[in-house]
Amino acid sequence: MRKLLDGVYTGSGLLSAGLIAAICLLVTAQVVLNLVTKYGPFDVNLTIPSYADFAGYMLAASSFLALAYTLTRGGHIRVTMVLNAMPARLRLVSESLCLALGAAIAGFASYYMYLLTHESYEFGDMSSGIVAIPLYIPQSAVLAGLVILTVALVDLTLQTVRAGRPVLVQINTE
- In angstroms, the CA 97 to CA 91 distance is 10
pLDDT score, position 169 = 59
Instruction: Decide: 9 and 152 in contact? Cβ < 8 Å.
Output: yes
Give average pLDDT by consecutive 10-residue segment, the chain, 174 residues. 94 98 97 90 86 96 96 81 86 93 98 98 95 96 98 96 80 47
pLDDT score, position 144 = 98
pLDDT score, position 21 = 98
Residues pairing with 126 in the sheet? 134
